[in-house]
Amino acid sequence: MGLCQAQLITNTLTRPALPQAVTDHAAAAAAANTSPDLDERVKEAILHAHLLDSYQRRLPRVLDVVNNQAGSSRWTTASRKTLNYQLLLLLDQVEGCGLERQLVEDSSTTLMLPHGNRLMQMRHDAGYLLSSPDPLPPMATQGEVLAASEGEDMPDLYPLSPFSNCRARDTYPTEECYAVDSPHLYPHTIFMHHNQPRMPHTEDVFKGMSLLYAFSHAAAYAKLVQKHSLGDLDKPITVQVVHINGPQYHLGVFQLNTLNLAPSAADKPVRNLFWTQEWETLFDSCKFKAGRGVLEGYNPKVFSLLRGLHAQG
């Protein structure tokens, strides 16, 4: 229900893999990886962020349902963000094209859009928002977008509506804002962090969240910074999203083609596009064993995909 519902809300079609440009660059980077110390540096970054960081934060009390006791280890390092930051620094060093990009931490974006005859408000806080002075190139041409919009069907949730389980409110704040209010910077990548030991949601719901975050930032930029009217966009806006939960990484690329979210069947509908793939695990476990920090099951594919994403734009 997660991804299908998000698709219907944002008028999006999905693709089962990341776009060609990203995967090509990732494969090339992986193949030409002559410096093995790059992997070592990534592993070091993971160890540092998870085990060796001296900052500790107390977690709220959580009842462990399986063992019927309150969570025994309530201290944790602020690992996701530091790891992310370290990886971003590494990426900048390796790829070298992100020197003029700007990073904003804990940004908040609020957006109100009509969906058919209903008004919806999206309020999303991104962990990191990477903006660049050059826009990301569109991953699908105009022709491809129109062909896909006409050819493919949206998922059918009958009898549920796309806003199932969304509570309607009579009073709400009407302020809208985009995180980086500058016409010179385009959104590049959005990083979202979660740190839940047991995933309460399924993978599908996670993908839906990634899509919603990507959409809200792209649409907020189009509506608030570019001051675009609600309708089809001349120049599509492309945004990348990285959704992190513990060692799991979910990567996606979103192209905003239209702000008309509920087109009637009479008009030629134009849909937005979302390239995504299944979860990738960066590592299996990173714990202290016999007094030493040990990282097990490192997956180099994730870093190469991150390089592929970073190199765009």
Partner 1 sequence: MASVRGVALLGRRLGCLTLGASPAWPLHAPAPSLQPALLVRSFNIYHIDRPKPSDKKNFRYTVHYPEDGQYTVKPLKTNKLGGRDPETGRLIVGTLGGGAKRNYRWIDWFRTGPTDGTFLDERVINVQYDPNRSARIALVATGDNLRYLLASDNMKKGDLIRTSGYIPRIPVRPKEGDAYPVGALPQGTQVHCVEIVPGDGARMVKAAGTSGLVMRKIGKKVVVQLPSKRELALDPKCMATVGRLSNPTHGQQHVGSAQRRRWLGRRPASGLWQRKDGYRGRKIKPLPPRAGPRTKDVTYSQFIATKPRKKSSKHRGVLSKL
Q: Does 168 participate in binding partner 1 (rule CB under 8 A)?
A: yes
Instruction: List the one residue from 52, 119, 147, 166 that touches partner 1 (CB under 8 A).
Output: 166
Q: Which residue type is seen at 174?
A: T
Q: Does 67 participate in binding partner 1 (rule CB under 8 A)?
A: no
- The whole-angstrom separation of Cα 12 and Cα 254 is 9
Render the burial of 38-56: b for 16+ CB within 10 Å, e for the rest. Answer: beebbbebbbbbbbeeeee
CB of 97 to partner 1, least distance (A): 45
C-beta of residue 9 within 8 angstroms of C-beta of residue 161: no
Q: Does 161 participate in binding partner 1 (rule CB under 8 A)?
A: yes
In sequence order, which residues have a C-beta less than 8 Å from that of residue 212 and are 6 or more positions away? Answer: 6, 9, 10, 122, 124
Indicate the residue among 154 and 225 with the shorter CB distance to partner 1: 154
Q: Does 200 participate in binding partner 1 (rule CB under 8 A)?
A: no
Q: Does 248 participate in binding partner 1 (rule CB under 8 A)?
A: no
Give the range of 25-33, 148-156, 165-173, 184-192 binding partner 1 by CB under 8 A. 165-173
CB of 162 to partner 1, least distance (A): 9
Indicate the residue among 65 and 99 with the shorter CB distance to partner 1: 65
Strand partners, 187: 131
In sequence order, which residues have a C-beta less than 8 Å from that of residue 134 and are 6 or more positions away? Answer: 186, 313
CB of 117 to partner 1, least distance (A): 13
- The whole-angstrom separation of Cα 41 and Cα 91 is 11
Instruction: List the one residue from 158, 173, 267, 289 that touches partner 1 (CB under 8 A).
Output: 158
CB of 10 to partner 1, least distance (A): 17
Phi, psi of 169 (to 5 degrees): -120, 145
CB of 212 to partner 1, least distance (A): 17
Indicate the residue among 163 and 279 with the shorter CB distance to partner 1: 163
- The whole-angstrom separation of Cα 45 and Cα 15 is 32
Using a 10 angstrom Cβ sphere, with 0-12 exposed, 13-18 middle and 19 or more buried, the burial of residue 16 is exposed
Q: Which two tokens stand for residue 92?
A: 């900048």
Instruction: List the one residue from 108, 164, 202, 226 that touches partner 1 (CB under 8 A).
Output: 164
Phi, psi of 151 (to 5 degrees): -75, -45
Q: Does 160 participate in binding partner 1 (rule CB under 8 A)?
A: yes
Indicate the residue among 168 and 265 with the shorter CB distance to partner 1: 168
Torsion, CA 302, CA 128, CA 186, CA 237, rounded to 10 = 60
The contact mask relative to partner 1 for 100-139 (x = CB under 8 A, - = no) is ----------------------------------------
Instruction: List the one residue from 163, 177, 248, 280 that touches partner 1 (CB under 8 A).
Output: 163
CB of 158 to partner 1, least distance (A): 7
Interface residues with partner 1 (CB under 8 A)? 1, 158-161, 163-166, 168
